Chains A and B, each alone.
Chain A
Amino acid sequence: MISQRLGSCENCWFNPLQNGSVGLTIGFCVEHRVVLRDSSTTTCGKHFRKDLPLPTSEKFARSHRARYPDTTVVLDLETGKKAEDHVQTSTETKLLSTDPVGDLAKDYGYQDTKIASLAVLRKGVDPRMEFAGLNLSRSYVYRCKARGGSWTSGLNIFWWIKRSLASTPQFVASDFRYAAASSLDRQEDLAKWSLIMARLLVVSDIARHAEGALRDLEQIAQEAASASDNLVSRKLLAWIRSIGIPKMEKAMPEARYRELMQPLLEQPGDI
């Protein structure tokens, strides 16, 4: 097996429609605004892996960009040339509107601000929608900090995630796009574990950019992984309830969050 698909659009945080075996058979790139008809065969210079912690993703992205310098179009992973229209990519987005996550993805940052789109994505209990919101949150926070942007959105996202951190994801059969692992039960639990870990990855990313006590959460995904190294979601959730959430509360107590948000909420137009 060639793992090069880990460097493809399938595994990029700008594609909110696919996450491992979870998602639609087609992807969507929120950067190039095209449907990814064969996402495991395409990539581009903006590629950012969603399966890894930020420092490793950044390192991979740097070497990937050296090999695929073109950031203006989607490329064929094998040849590095422009991907084939209609075969690998498509500008026809009408079909995406028939899927609730696809519909939100195609409008991401288009009709409303990106943070407004993220606010909608976080509200559902649909795990595909949550995956989409978490991956786009990572790209959003990363870009905000890279551009020297405000910290308000990062705090909001942190707070949203903290509130849902201990909830058990509920997948349905149609959430899966291919078979994986030795049984369906195991595939489902690995998907749950991955979704809960995706929550922690966003927290870890925010902590990496933060200063003060929040910074103590930078290794939270690693600590959670050590505590659930058999990748059982129940065990991971138990760790989150007993250790993870208290740790987050210590790093950012509700009173401190409200204190930080209050002056920002008084500014019209800021969220």
Chain B
Amino acid sequence: MTKAWKINKDPLFRGDVAHGVRSATHGADRSIVRHILYLDGQGRDTPYLSCTESKETATRFANKSGKVYETYAKEWLSSGVKHRSRKELFLLLKGGGKGDAKWHDAFEVAIARKYVEEHMEHLCDFTDQATQADIDVAVGKIFL
């Protein structure tokens, strides 16, 4: 876990249910803090999917009944998916937050940043996709 992650050669991992990666939701609230803190709870709508540099972390998130999926961020753009890297998230999650991470509570911004750091998190950003069908196709393409 100590070597620096590189977009050109390193994969990202996602722990999810065994029957496939759950899709993101078209038109959902694009707040990054809301997404990372899971503020809408079970069944929430989000335009993002979280991934991690650490396979061990993804395994923990998959729980015993789930599965770990692999993906390469360098290939996302060809499917219309934006890569919000850990570095970018760090820049956004400061103080009251910036851009899509702007938020009314600085403590909650800090907790979101803590989770990004602890989980070595990156986001797949589907906000540029025109329809839900486009998102579903992109999710199917980028996760192995």
Contacts and interface: CB of A to CB of B under 8 A. Distances in A.
A109 interface: no
B23 interface: no
Given A186-B117, A222-B107, A231-B117, A4 B94 contact: no
Interface in A33-87: 38, 40-41, 51-53, 56, 59-60, 63-64, 67, 77-78
Q: Which of B57, B106, B107, B114 has the most chain A CB atoms closer than 10 A to its own CB?
A: B107
A176 B140 CA distance: 36
A17 to B, nearest CB: 17
Given A1-B52, A60-B39, A63-B41, A193 B96 contact: no
A63 B38 CA distance: 12
A229 B39 contact: no
Interface stretch (A177-185, A241-249, A256-264): A177-185
Interface in A161-208: 178-183, 186-187, 190, 193-194, 197
B38 A53 contact: no
A176 to B, nearest CB: 11
Contacts of B36: 3
Given A1-B51, A222-B107, A225-B110, A181 B117 contact: yes
A231 B110 contact: yes
Contacts of A226: 95-96, 106
B122 to A, nearest CB: 10
Main SS of chain B's interface residues?
mixed
Interface string A12-27: 0000000011000000
B117 A41 contact: no
A5 interface: yes
A240 B95 CA distance: 17
A195 to B, nearest CB: 12
Nearest to A186: B117
A129 interface: no
A1 B15 contact: yes
A187 B111 contact: no
A190 B107 contact: no
Interface residues of B, number: 46
A40 B63 contact: yes
A114 B96 CA distance: 37
A53 B107 contact: yes
B16 interface: yes
B118 A190 contact: yes
A64 B94 contact: no
Interface of A: 1-7, 20-21, 38, 40-41, 51-53, 56, 59-60, 63-64, 67, 77-78, 178-183, 186-187, 190, 193-194, 197, 221-226, 228-231
Given A3-B115, A7-B38, A67-B41, 13 more contacts: A2-B15, A3-B50, A5-B63, A7-B41, A38-B64, A41-B64, A59-B39, A64-B42, A179-B54, A182-B1, A222-B106, A222-B107, A224-B107
Nearest 3 Cβ contacts at the A-B interface? A3-B38, A225-B110, A1-B61
